[in-house]
């Protein structure tokens, strides 16, 4: 969220310094902050049950188009989207509007006929969504925003902020390397590590959920039916997993062709501030592989997989299920925190709203309500609308 905020602010004419820790070369030896953007693939689909969430995606895709037009390497791979849901689990997504562009509703027989490599449970229905839905590179989008921002004068500093002193007419930031920066205003985009710092006036209401994705390594020549697979979300309650999401086979930076298979599992947990870094560095992500592998094989009975790998991440949840985009100290300190699993695909839209708020101290958007993004604090009563851990 920080990189697009800097990008939007600079394009508005502001003088901006963006400070952040680079991705470590070896996570097992890294002691410090990690980022959810240390990844090569995230889903991007357009239509959501709530219209303002659909608007978020549309704005973010428009920003990606701008970056690519201005010379960034391709960020979005447009393969389309398949949504499927077991009866009673559609979460407001079914049936899709008949007049929604690019949407094709699919009954059980149509799903089975169009996606022969998938073994759906009885009664499952869904729809397909045309491109530009697909998958994006979080690394790519962060790098593109920062590179473009630098052409607009942004100073990018590879360092870790250790303290923020909010004064009457400015803020002062001290970094791990001993540098000091003074600014009229500061934005915190500190993700799962937000409550591990001393930056916040009060701890925010956040749930940091451990997330493990199963990476199925395969050979496309042996699985030719997957060559044109769309991104995929499958809402269901299974004995082992729930709420599956998938990225089709792609070549990852290590040169391996893999499918990403994510889901809620019985191994998931909420992480406290002391355990977030440990989870990223050496958490037991292999514990979930047997359950996820079993669920994968039930869904893809004919797919040949050569190796299985588990990769770790953290989803930072907020009670209302949307990112906090809010004022922490009036006129001085602001935040963009809590992606709820959508921060990559919504990053451009989040950055635009955050930059405007920080530069003007006002919420000027007429489509997306400010109340949807108010910060909530851990010492206040909350009503959590996001899904809890599996029992």
pLDDT, one tens digit per residue, over 177-226 is: 999 999 999 999 999 999 987 889 899 999 999 999 999 999 999 999 99
Q: Give dist(CA 389, CA 391) in Å, integer.
A: 6
The answer to whether 374 and 321 are in contact (CB under 8 A) is no
Can you say whether the dihedral through the CA atoms of 117, 220, 313, 73 is positive or negative? negative
CA distance 282 to 29: 10
> With 0-12 CB in 10 A as exposed, 13-18 as middle and 19+ as buried, what is 121?
middle
**Residue 214 confidence (pLDDT):** 97
Q: Locate CATH 3.30.9.10 in the chain.
A: 81-130+207-317
- Report the distance separating Cα 212 and Cα 313, nearest Å: 6
Region(s) of the chain under CATH 3.50.50.60: 2-22+34-72+137-204+319-373
And the tokens for 78? Answer: 């447009």
Query: Which of 338-371 are b and which e, b meaning 16 or more Cβ less than 10 Å from the residue's Cβ?
Result: bbbbbbbbbbbbbbbbbbbbbbeeebebeebeee
pLDDT in tens, 281-326: 999 999 999 999 999 999 999 999 999 999 999 999 999 999 999 9
- Cβ atoms of residues 312 and 28 within 8 Å: no
Indicate the pLDDT class of residue 274, thresholds 50, 70 and 90.
Answer: confident
> Which pLDDT score is estimated for 237?
87
Spatial distance between the Cα atoms of 160 and 113, rounded to a whole number of angstroms: 52
Name the CATH superfamily, with its identifier, for domain 81-130+207-317.
D-Amino Acid Oxidase, subunit A, domain 2 (3.30.9.10)
Round to whole Å and give the CA distance between 388 and 391: 9
Report the alpha-carbon distance of residue 344 to residue 293 in Å, rounded. 26
The rounded percent of the chain whose pLDDT value lies above 90 is: 91
Residues 6+ apart with CB under 8 A from 7: 145, 146, 148, 149, 152, 154, 351
Q: How many residues does the chain have?
A: 391
Q: What is the mean pLDDT of the chain?
A: 96
Q: What is the pLDDT of residue 221?
A: 98
The CATH class of the 2-22+34-72+137-204+319-373 domain is alpha beta
Q: What is the pLDDT of residues 51-107, one digit of tens each?
A: 999 999 999 999 999 999 999 999 999 999 999 999 999 999 999 998 889 999 999
Distance in angstroms (rounded) separating the CA atoms of residues 267 and 291? 9
For Cα atoms 333, 34, 272, give the angle at the middle one, nearest 5 degrees: 80
Identify whether the C-beta of residue 379 lies closer than 8 Å to the C-beta of residue 202: yes
């Amino acid at each position: 969220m920080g990189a697009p905020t800097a990008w939007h602010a600079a394009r508005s004419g502001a003088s901006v310094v963006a400070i952040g820790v680079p991705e470590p070369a070896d996570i097992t030896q890294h002691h410090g902050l990690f980022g959810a953007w240390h990844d090569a693939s995230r889903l991007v689909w357009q239509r959501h049950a709530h219209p303002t969430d659909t608007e978020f995606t549309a704005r973010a895709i428009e920003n990606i188009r701008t970056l690519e037009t201005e010379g960034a390497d391709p960020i979005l791979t447009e393969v389309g989207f398949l949504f499927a849901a077991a009866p009673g689990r559609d979460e407001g997504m079914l049936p899709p509007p008949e007049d929604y562009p690019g949407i094709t509703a699919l009954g059980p027989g149509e799903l089975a006929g169009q996606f022969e490599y998938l073994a759906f449970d009885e009664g499952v229905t869904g729809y397909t969504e045309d491109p530009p839905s697909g998958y994006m590179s979080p690394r790519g989008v962060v790098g593109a925003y920062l590179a473009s921002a630098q052409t607009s004068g942004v100073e990018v500093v590879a360092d870790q902020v250790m303290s923020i002193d909010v004064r009457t007419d400015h803020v002062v930031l001290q970094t791990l390397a001993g540098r000091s920066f003074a600014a009229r205003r500061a934005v915190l985009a500190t993700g799962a590590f937000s409550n591990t710092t001393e930056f916040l006036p009060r701890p925010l209401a956040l749930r940091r959920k451990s997330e493990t994705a199963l990476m199925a390594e395969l050979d496309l020549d042996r699985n030719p039916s997957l060559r044109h697979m769309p991104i995929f979300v499958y809402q269901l309650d299974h004995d082992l997993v729930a709420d599956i999401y998938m990225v089709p086979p792609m070549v990852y930076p290590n040169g391996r062709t893999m499918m990403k298979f994510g889901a809620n599992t019985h191994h998931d947990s909420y992480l406290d501030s002391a355990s977030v870094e440990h989870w990223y560095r050496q958490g037991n992500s292999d514990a979930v592989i047997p359950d996820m592998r079993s669920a994968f094989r039930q869904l893809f009975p004919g797919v040949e997989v050569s190796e299985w790998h588990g990769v770790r991440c953290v989803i930072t949840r907020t009670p209302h299920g949307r990112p906090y985009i809010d004022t922490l100290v009036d006129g001085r300190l602001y935040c963009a925190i809590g992606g709820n699993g959508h921060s990559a695909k919504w990053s451009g839209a989040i950055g635009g709203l955050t930059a405007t708020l920080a530069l003007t101290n006002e919420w000027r958007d007429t489509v997306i309500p400010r109340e949807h993004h108010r910060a909530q604090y851990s010492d206040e009563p909350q009503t959590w609308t996001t899904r809890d851990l599996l029992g």
